[in-house]
Amino acid sequence: MTSSASAAPRGPDEQGRLDAAMIDLFERRITFNTVLGLTILSVRPGDVRGRVVMRPELVGHYAYGRLHGGVISATLDAMGGLAVMVGIAERHLAETTEQVMHRFMRLGTIDLRIDYLRPGIGQHFVAHADVTRLGGRLGSTQMRLVNDEGTLIATGAGAYIVA
């Protein structure tokens, strides 16, 4: 396959189809993300973001109404994987949406670390993810979760198999 180094950039129509396909994958086809209520806000390189709205099913501490730690972890993991996908798509600018989406079939989490910094209190939470390294076989990410007031709730680091 052709890499972005020798290929013409993806046109805006094809990029729009790819963005829509990635959002559909994360919001609807990965059904656990649907359970979380994960909404993708951005799939732009350097700006990968998703949002989870607090609701009773996501409470982890009944007395305080805090967001469950598993929801935090799963959300950060999902956003780390999405950031790697966006990075892969940027490497293969000459490929169609179908070709790029096929590359994601092999992607999976191989390591995940979450640091819970503050209680998950808020009306909604926004997760951000950045690729720190993307090699031929592995991708590494840094993630963070903030509440609706912008308070940092948790950070994460993930490693993903990409080939």
Give me the residue spans of the domains in the chain: 12-161
| pLDDT at residue 62, rounded to an integer | 85
Angle formed by the axes of helices 12-24 and 69-91, nearest 10°: 150
pLDDT of residue 7: 59
pLDDT in tens, 89-130: 999 999 999 999 999 988 999 999 999 999 999 999 999 999
Fill in the amino acid letter for 56. P
pLDDT on residue 9: 81
Q: Which residues of the chain have pLDDT under 50?
A: 1-5
SS3 143: strand
CATH topology of domain 12-161: Thiol Ester Dehydrase; Chain A (3.10.129)
Helix (H) and strand (E) counts in the chain: 4, 8
Type of residue found at 63: A
pTM above 0.75, yes or no: yes
